[in-house]
Structure 1
């Protein structure tokens, strides 16, 4: 196996590792509210989330096409640049997971791609208009729109039941949550799994193993299967720290609120996927959860935590970009496949150390605690 082939393998493995972190980081998006209201048990919730994430990955490739060619000049994205972008994105995912803060895996990946591309070839490698139109504007608007709709829906749901929904109505909402949570999981697969597919496809093109014809963008079936499997496996492990934040800490959620939050989030994500926008499912769902808290009682939202989450959202793109830029510089300095291999080993060791330290901490969250 020559250096080019070895580097391709390293990039694909790193992409799947990122996909795995995306899965356990974002399980909360689909299942936090259903677990919080006890519409689903934690184990059933993560199993259902994993299966539907896998299925959703095969519905469309529009988001994968956007990731591969819509923001960063495809000619700049060689194997070393893609590797650096993936490490930057995965590092941010792990850092925010350890802090229990929901952040955007999508924006982490895009930030990584932008940072690595800029360091490698300068700002001309990035389409600023596409970055604003397809990433930054949706990042700002989607949680606001979803939150506003969720707030109105929650207000109406409680207004229709004087004194609050009775036991029968709450039970009906819990059954409804099974459907809406499933829809969010499916929507997550249609959006987030696509990003890893796009990166692996780019790696194959950069290596010369895959030839794309004209403007037609295609993803090999095996790439779809492995990317879908990685995000599904990550979803099944459950990101319990973030589930606890979104399901319990941000606001107290009852069944009617959970149903409304999930329904509005799923609708928003599916609409974005149909247009090929690499939307942050975390931003959308967090906006929906904030909305249902506002819709019931403004004081029930823990605004201090919400502000910390917002700060993490703002930092995601630049933080991942900086890490990716550093990784590209080191890998380029070492040359060949040696640099990425050494950096991959160091990154894996750091991830394991972080996981062990976090699990030993007194604040570690497990399925039985949620």
Structure 2
């Protein structure tokens, strides 16, 4: 039997290692293809070797973004079983790549969020190129490590740390805009707290308006269209503000009735959202009313009504993420490409199609190859999610960004999504905490009763054993008492175990919370130290 078990384990290990080898092979093939294309297409240009190596680093960074960051968009939908893992990867891959290619823009800021002053390089193009290469590689390495550790971290913070570390190594501490860095540090608290509060608020509203009602179907007909309409408003507003801001001038040229602005205003985005929300409300109101008779009057029945909205949420979040966060991979690469092609340093750089393709394809490939690990972590290893909880997390992801952008607060989409998951988990603990307290009180009463019973049996046994002249019935009773005492001790032990178990009921896994928060806090400094070391290594090799 043991030999069979060992053989099975060996078979599984060989199968697993074979899949891992294929993944690695495909990832290396993509990186080598990018390196080769970049080198061959820029032949004869000075420093084209640096550009080719930077393209390799950019491809590696894009794949790590796909492996780590995309999990936040689809993890809740997978964890709640609204989407299968395969379905989530296909949807996210298509919409991430589409967002990057369609709405990623044709110009990108070379230094993400203006965290360093490029004037400090003093026109030294080589030093600038080395710094951007170091930033790309360090951010990608940190993301790779975080993915292996199953810790969802901010890719924006990773590249920010990389740029800061390389900038300090190249030009000293004075190059850093410390005020901007302070705002980024503040986002470690602002993002998860805001995300958690908004997600918990929506979940509580859903519970009060539908879950706690006796006639859940009647409540669903009334309230589900309202909640999904709010989600539609939030997502269209979010998508307009974040996903379309880089191509807004082109949209204004086509839709001439729109205000001629460089990027969408909140009012325009909110009006777009309102129009879509009204349409969605009217359609859903009719659809759910027609299907009311076939919906189960239970929590399970209510959950099914949130499945389709969750799939749309996963797709739209992925599109906005691809449009917005592809810059984390291609921003430094575009900066290096611009510096190599023009021989100068610019605060903004045009994005060649091949650079954008590296970012878009890299994110999709990284998601397909290594995304499932983090999707499982976000979807099921922090707290248990159903469709209503996942819907609340998706709402938090869009609404928090809208609020933060209007207040000028720095936020991280990763921290918001994970904070939303913390929020719904802790709300569940709070709401169901009274039941847990009742269980603890009952177990305590049970233990007291068992102890009293055990004490009485011991007292009777002591009395009988002390009796000098024992009859046959006394001996039989002593034997029975020993059996009863053993049974009572077992019952007492079980009652204590039940009490310990009742006290341990926690719907948010504390170990996961500690690990993720620790990873968030050290992301910027870890990427910065790694980036500085890589910069000095590159400079040492070249000089």
Counterparts of 2:98 and 2:154, CA distance in 1: 21
Does residue 1:121 correspond to 2:121, yes or no? no
Does residue 1:92 correspond to 2:299, yes or no? no
Q: In structure 1, what is the equivalent of residue 207 of structure 2? A: 158
Equivalent residues of 2:81, 2:386 under 8 A apart: no
Matched position secondary structure for 1:208: helix
Q: In structure 1, what is the equivalent of residue 50 of structure 2? A: 7
Counterparts of 2:348 and 2:540, CA distance in 1: 35
Q: Which moved more, 1:272-281 or 1:43-52?
A: 272-281
> For the structure 1 residues 225 and 218, does the alpha-carbon distance in structure 2 shift closer, same or farther, using more than 3 Å as the test?
same
Structure 1 residue runs without a partner (length 5+):
337-370
Q: Which moved more, 1:159-168 or 1:297-306?
A: 159-168
Equivalent residues of 2:133, 2:332 under 8 A apart: no
Matched position secondary structure for 2:157: helix
Counterparts of 2:343 and 2:408, CA distance in 1: 22
Deviation (angstroms), 1:185: 1.1
Equivalent residues of 1:153, 1:295 under 8 A apart: no
Does residue 1:42 correspond to 2:85, yes or no? yes
Does residue 1:52 correspond to 2:95, yes or no? yes
1:310-369 deviation digits (Å, cap 9, x = unpaired): 011000000111111111111111116xxxxxxxxxxxxxxxxxxxxxxxxxxxxxxxxx
Q: In structure 1, what is the equivalent of residue 482 of structure 2? A: none
Pairs within 5 Å for 1:256-335: 256-269=388-401, 279-298=411-430, 299-335=506-542
Counterparts of 1:66 and 1:188, CA distance in 2: 19
Matched position secondary structure for 1:297: helix
> For the structure 1 residues 68 and 251, does the alpha-carbon distance in structure 2 shift closer, same or farther, using more than 3 Å as the test?
closer
> For the structure 1 residues 5 and 142, does the alpha-carbon distance in structure 2 shift closer, same or farther, using more than 3 Å as the test?
same
| Structure with bigger RCO (C-alpha 8 Å, 6+ apart) | 1
Q: Report the TM-score, using the length of structure 2 for normalisation.
A: 0.57
Equivalent residues of 1:106, 1:278 under 8 A apart: no
Q: In structure 2, what is the equivalent of residue 250 of structure 1? A: 382
Deviation (angstroms), 1:270: 6.4
Deviation (angstroms), 1:36: 1.2
Equivalent residues of 2:155, 2:328 under 8 A apart: no
1:178-224 deviation digits (Å, cap 9, x = unpaired): 111112212211321122232122112222348788x7654334432
Matched position secondary structure for 1:38: coil
1:260-294 deviation digits (Å, cap 9, x = unpaired): 10122134346768999985322111011111112
Q: Report the TM-score, using the length of structure 1 for normalisation.
A: 0.82
Does residue 1:230 correspond to 2:362, yes or no? yes
> For the structure 1 residues 288 and 224, does the alpha-carbon distance in structure 2 shift closer, same or farther, using more than 3 Å as the test?
same
Equivalent residues of 2:153, 2:523 under 8 A apart: yes
Deviation (angstroms), 1:99: 1.1
Q: How many residues align?
A: 334
Q: In structure 1, what is the equivalent of residue 155 of structure 2? A: 105
Q: In structure 1, what is the equivalent of residue 132 of structure 2? A: 82
Q: What is the alpha-carbon root mean square deviation over aligned residues?
A: 2.8
Considering only CA atoms, is the larger Rg found in Structure 1 or Structure 2?
2
> For the structure 1 residues 183 and 276, does the alpha-carbon distance in structure 2 shift closer, same or farther, using more than 3 Å as the test?
farther
Q: Which moved more, 1:274-283 or 1:142-151?
A: 274-283
Deviation (angstroms), 1:23: 0.7
Counterparts of 2:540 and 2:136, CA distance in 1: 18
Structure 2 residue runs without a partner (length 5+):
1-43, 122-126, 217-297, 431-505
1:129-159 deviation digits (Å, cap 9, x = unpaired): 22223x2233321221111000111111122
